Structures are given as C-alpha cells and as structure tokens.
Amino acid sequence: MSFVKRDYSLAGPEGERARERGLVEASWYACEIPRQTMKQLMVRRNGPAIRDTLLWFALLIGTGILAYISWGTWWAILTFLLYGTVYSVGGGSRWHEVSHGTVFKTPWLNEVMYQLTSFMTIVEATKFRWSHVRHHTDTIIVGRDREFMSERPPQWYTLLFSFFLLPAFHVTLVDSIKHSFGKMSAEEKIYIPASEHRKLFWEARIWLVLIIGLIGWCIAIKSILPMMFIWLPSFYGNFFNWVLVVTQHGGLAEDVLDHRLNTRTFYTNPIIRFLYCNMNYHVEHHMFPMVPYYNLPQLHETMKHDCPPPYPSLWAAFKEGMTAIYRQRNDPTYTPLRPLPKSAKPFRIQPS
C-alpha cells in the first residue's frame, strides 16, 4: 500500500478532513473515576506548589554558583551541563504546568510563574497557551495539533536540530519580531483568539527588549557569561528535555480518540519526577488536564487498571519512541501498540 505524505500544518486540508471524520473537538475516551474522587484530585493548593518552586530555585542557585566558580576551567563543562539540565527540564515542565493554571491555588501566582518560565525557556507565552489548548483538545490529530514530535515519515534533520532547540528558537525569534510589529501568520489566527492578539504583540515587544538588554550586558562586560545563565541553558541543557519529549507521544498513533493509544506513562525516580513535575504520568495528564501535577501519582493509582501497563523506566519509554520513529522512515504506517489489561475497556479509535 502506497503512503501519501500528509500536510501537518493547521492551514492545510487535513484539518477539514479531520472535521469530516468527526475527530475535531470530539468526545475522547476517559477512564471512569468516582465524582467525589475527581473533585478531590482537582483541588489546587499553594503549599506543594510554593514548596517545589522554592526548591527548584534553590537548585538553580546552587548549581549556578558551582558553574560560576568553575567558569574558565574544564569543570565548567560539567557544572554548566548540570545547571542547564535543572534550568531546561525544571523550567520547561513548570512553564508547561502553569500554562494550565492548575499549579497554584492563587491565579496570579500561576500567571507570574508562567511569564517568567516562558521567557526563561524561549517561548511566547500567549502563543503557546493557545497552541497547547489545541494540543489537548485535538491531541495528535493531523491538521489540528501543531505540537507533533515527528511527522510521518520523520524529518531527521528537524529531529537532529531540535536536539539543540534550534527549530523552535528560529520560529520563536522570527515570530516575535513579526508580533512586535503587530503581524500574525494565517495559521496563528486559526487558534489564537482575536481578543488575545494585543496581549501577544505586547509580550513580543517586552520579550525582545529584554533579550536586547541581555545581549547588551554581554557586550558591555565583554563576556558571554550572563547568557550562560539566562537563555542559553535552554540550548545546551536541552538534551534531557528532548529525551523526555520523545517519551510523551513519539511514534504513537495519529487520529485516534483515546489517550491510551497516543500518549505514554512511565515510572522513574523521584529526582526526575521532581524536575519533570510528574509529567511521566502523561496519559493521566492528557486524560484529565485539570488535575494538578502533585496529584497525578494518586490519579495514576486510581485509573491504572484501565490503562496499558506503564513503561518500567524512562529508558524503556524513550527506546520505544525512537524505535518507532526510526521504523516510520520506511513504514510511515507503523505504530507501536501496548496491550490493555483484562480489566480495561476497549480502545476508542474512531468517533462512537
């Protein structure tokens, strides 16, 4: 059977085809969870969020001091890699979580943290917020979701450069310049409400001013050191973040209405869970995105009888994702499938 390359953009024909098939803003499969249990799981608390945020900042400061002390020596390679990992993984996961508004009970704390971590991780806050709404509404639906890890067949040069965040940086920089002049692409107008355009433009202007100021600081002191602590860690510290992103949806099913088919959950150690904000419970997060990250382990225990067995480790999840992407270069139709336990309900592939 021949395979026809699909258009993954939001402005192409695949979006309308998805709508005709009933895949747009459709009814997704959700594990049955008692109403009272779900109400408890959705409770937001400032305590765990503030504790974890302060601990992450403490790790940033501690690893940053080590990196600063070692600057100019060979030890700097190791210490800045450590700092970059804490910065990139910890910042990226927190940026993602506060975009949902579920981390803190106090709304303005979510917004302040979101703007801060968006700048740290080189993301336009308003653009991502609405892109991510679409990602959760139409997860891995071709022509609707713009947050694909890999197309079919995979574009290997894109995957290679994304290892260092280069494609995302290029897009963000170009888009920010356009947004600062009040310009938007046709695709952006599809998923960003008109009421948010003004906010998008002003965020881009502030973002560029801060970046120019940061570059000016480096020029003034004739050292790249300031950027080694702000912004550049998103590049040199992105390796582990890239690995984690592969585990989320890499190589899994497109155009289905069941997160058990297109998302992975895996077990890992407490250090990674802390930095990653429990996003290793990714099936749970996608099925019930309004549950705060600190309640995801409990949610997992509640619904695991209705899901494929979790991957036993980060390596196992990453290995399957990369193997699937590699196989899809010759067989774009290939999709790994995890068996369901006998206690689970059948997969939902198409609209009911």
In this predicted structure, what is the pLDDT of residue 15?
Answer: 92
Compute the distance between CA of residue 282 and CA of residue 199 in angstroms, rounded to an integer.
30
CA distances from 219 to 73, 119, 204, 227 (A): 22, 20, 23, 11
The answer to whether 155 and 5 are in contact (CB under 8 A) is: no
Using CA atoms in the order 24, 26, 308, 35, what is the torsion angle rounded to 10 degrees? 150
DSSP string of 68-103, one letter each residue: HHHTTSTHHHHHHHHHHHHHHHHHHHHHHHHHTT-S
The answer to whether 324 and 336 are in contact (CB under 8 A) is: yes
In this predicted structure, what is the pLDDT of residue 249?
Answer: 96
- Return the minimum-mean-pLDDT range out of 3-7, 32-36, 342-346: 3-7
3: confidence class by pLDDT, cuts 50, 70, 90: confident
- SS3 of residue 340 by DSSP: coil
Q: Is 322 within the bounds of a domain?
A: yes
In this predicted structure, what is the pLDDT of residue 352?
Answer: 60
Residues 308-320: b if buried by 16+ CB within 10 A, e if exposed: bebbeebeebbeb
- Better pLDDT: 150 or 171: 150
The answer to whether 246 and 322 are in contact (CB under 8 A) is: yes
DSSP string of 155-215, one letter each residue: -HHHHHHHTTTHHHHHHHHHHHHHHHTT---HHHHHHS-GGGHHHHHHHHHHHHHHHHHHH
Q: Is 55 within the bounds of a domain?
A: yes
10 Å Cβ neighbour count for 322?
17
Residue range of the domain that includes 224:
41-327
Predicted confidence (pLDDT) per residue in 281-329, tens digit: 999 999 999 999 999 999 999 999 999 999 999 999 999 999 999 999 9
Predicted confidence (pLDDT) per residue in 152-192, tens digit: 999 887 777 787 777 677 778 888 999 999 999 989 999 99
Q: Is 19 within the bounds of a domain?
A: no
In this predicted structure, what is the pLDDT of residue 167?
Answer: 66
Mean pLDDT of 38-44: 97
Compute the distance between CA of residue 129 and CA of residue 132 in angstroms, rounded to an integer.
5
In this predicted structure, what is the pLDDT of residue 171?
Answer: 77
Report the phi/psi class of residue 184: left, alpha or beta, with left for phi > 0 and alpha for psi in -120 to 50. Answer: beta
In this predicted structure, what is the pLDDT of residue 5?
Answer: 87
Q: Is 24 within the bounds of a domain?
A: no
In this predicted structure, what is the pLDDT of residue 321?
Answer: 96
Using CA atoms in the order 5, 10, 279, 200, what is the torsion angle rounded to 10 degrees? 150
10 Å Cβ neighbour count for 160?
11
> What's the chain's average pLDDT?
93
In this predicted structure, what is the pLDDT of residue 40?
Answer: 97
In this predicted structure, what is the pLDDT of residue 349?
Answer: 81
Q: Is 76 within the bounds of a domain?
A: yes
Task: State what percent of residues in the chain have pLDDT above 70.
Answer: 99
In this predicted structure, what is the pLDDT of residue 165?
Answer: 73
In the chain, the number of structural domains is 1
Predicted confidence (pLDDT) per residue in 226-275, tens digit: 999 998 999 899 899 999 999 999 999 999 999 999 999 999 999 999 99
Burial of 93 (0-12, 13-18, 19+ CB in 10 A): buried
Compute the distance between CA of residue 294 and CA of residue 254 in angstroms, rounded to an integer.
29
Residue 24 backbone phi and psi in degrees, to 5: -90, 125
115: confidence class by pLDDT, cuts 50, 70, 90: very high
2: confidence class by pLDDT, cuts 50, 70, 90: low
**Residue 2 DSSP code:** -
Q: Is pLDDT above 60 for 1?
A: no
Closest by CA position to 33, among listed 345, 340, 346, 281: 345
Token pair of 55 as six digits: 């601990």
Widest CA span in the chain: 65
Mean pLDDT of 32-43: 96
Mean pLDDT of 27-43: 96
Q: Is 220 within the bounds of a domain?
A: yes
In this predicted structure, what is the pLDDT of residue 304?
Answer: 96
The answer to whether 328 and 312 are in contact (CB under 8 A) is: no
Q: Is 277 within the bounds of a domain?
A: yes
Q: Is 30 within the bounds of a domain?
A: no
10 Å Cβ neighbour count for 69?
12
pTM for the whole structure: 0.94
In this predicted structure, what is the pLDDT of residue 150?
Answer: 87
Compute the distance between CA of residue 123 and CA of residue 1 in angstroms, rounded to an integer.
40
Mean pLDDT of 128-155: 92
Task: State what percent of residues in the chain have pLDDT above 90.
Answer: 84
Compute the distance between CA of residue 278 and CA of residue 304 in angstroms, rounded to an integer.
15
In this predicted structure, what is the pLDDT of residue 169?
Answer: 75
